[in-house]
Amino acid sequence: MDPKVTTQQIGEECGVILPRDVLDRLGWKEGRTLELRVDDTGIEIFDAQKISDKEFQRQIFAAKMAMRKYHKALSELAKS
């Protein structure tokens, strides 16, 4: 199961604390520059240093967001 995080007050802002094992698995350290992509279903966090093809990443992001939005319909189609 994927880890869950809770939003927390951090100074004047609100944020999330990422579990150490997740950071270790990704090789991320404090101070790392990350890229956020947001739509009406959620957010995704990417390592800004590893995104090499912006157009490809944009297309992957759009596909993931569509799969989240239409998860129920896609699950039903997969059964048939």
The predicted-structure confidence for 65-78, as pLDDT tens digits, reads as follows 888 889 899 888 89
d(CA 34, CA 46): 6
For the chain, which residues make up each domain, given as ranges?
A: 7-79
- According to DSSP H, which parts of 1-80 are helical? 20-26, 54-69, 71-79
Residue 9 pLDDT more than 90? yes
Is residue 68 within 8 Å of residue 41, measured between CB atoms? yes
Report the predicted TM-score, pTM, of the whole model to 2 decimal places. Answer: 0.55
